[in-house]
Amino acid sequence: MEKIIKTILSELANVNKLVLLDLDDTLVEAAEIFIYKTLPNGEEIALTPAEYADENVSGEENLDVTYDYRDFLNPKKVSGSIKKGQPIVSNLEMMDELLKKGYDIGILTARGMEDVIYSTLREWLMIRDKNGELVPIGDNLRRENVIAVNDSKYTELEKYTDYQKKSIMINELLDKYDEVIFVDDDNKNIKEIHKLKQALNKAKANKLFIMKAK
């Protein structure tokens, strides 16, 4: 009997749930950070992350344009883009509700500079405490759950597209978690993660939920 209770308790303790949120245009409309597109005639255009998301970056018809991500390698710009950005309250509230229901909070972004993003989000992401006061998320956001797939430390991911990088990370998280809710504003990302779900074995696929950000 004692053994059974122990088993049940350990199983309950192991029910780990994660809500995995995209950053740009899901939690924040970033400010003062751009992707620089160079046209075939040499003209450079600054695109916001939202505008960049609408570009057909991997499409073959775009081989004659280039993109420069220099702002995203500048720690001050990276941090400022979040701190000065516009919080997307509906998704932040959903994140807070799930945190209160016992979910871990994770971030999955195509950005790099993972350390900068983590330390910025610890202060910038707000949750409501027991008294309803807004406080920084702090230790409720764990370092290992902030994933910026274009960080230079992920050398083994370099050969993959952003979608593939995200899929690989989600696949790994599904080994650690009993449930993962993926939340993203970008239909292309949603579509790719649906493809991932279809390719997973049934047990894993059943743990993955995909949600469009509001």
Residues that bind Mg ion (CB under 5 A): 22, 24-25, 185-186
Strand 35-38 and strand 44-47: pairing?
antiparallel
Contact criterion met (CB below 8 Å) for 128 and 63: no
Least distance to Mg ion, CB of residue 148, Å:
13
Rank residues 176 and 213 by Cβ distance to Mg ion and give the closer one.
Answer: 213
Least distance to Mg ion, CB of residue 26, Å:
5
Least distance to Mg ion, CB of residue 110, Å:
8
Least distance to Mg ion, CB of residue 178, Å:
26
Rank residues 18 and 27 by Cβ distance to Mg ion and give the closer one.
Answer: 27
Rank residues 185 and 201 by Cβ distance to Mg ion and give the closer one.
Answer: 185
Segment (H or E) for 190 = helix 187-199
| Cα gap 73→62, rounded to integer Å | 23
Least distance to Mg ion, CB of residue 109, Å:
8
CA-wise closest residue to 176 among 144, 210, 128, 148: 144
Q: Residues 26-39, buried b or exposed e (16+ Cβ, 10 A)?
A: bbbbbeebbbebee
Rank residues 96 and 184 by Cβ distance to Mg ion and give the closer one.
Answer: 184
Rank residues 114 and 185 by Cβ distance to Mg ion and give the closer one.
Answer: 185
Contact criterion met (CB below 8 Å) for 192 and 167: yes
Least distance to Mg ion, CB of residue 104, Å:
20
Bridge partners of residue 209, in order along the sequence? 181
For the four alpha carbons of 182, 130, 140 and 178, in that order, the dihedral sign comes to negative
Rank residues 21 and 116 by Cβ distance to Mg ion and give the closer one.
Answer: 21
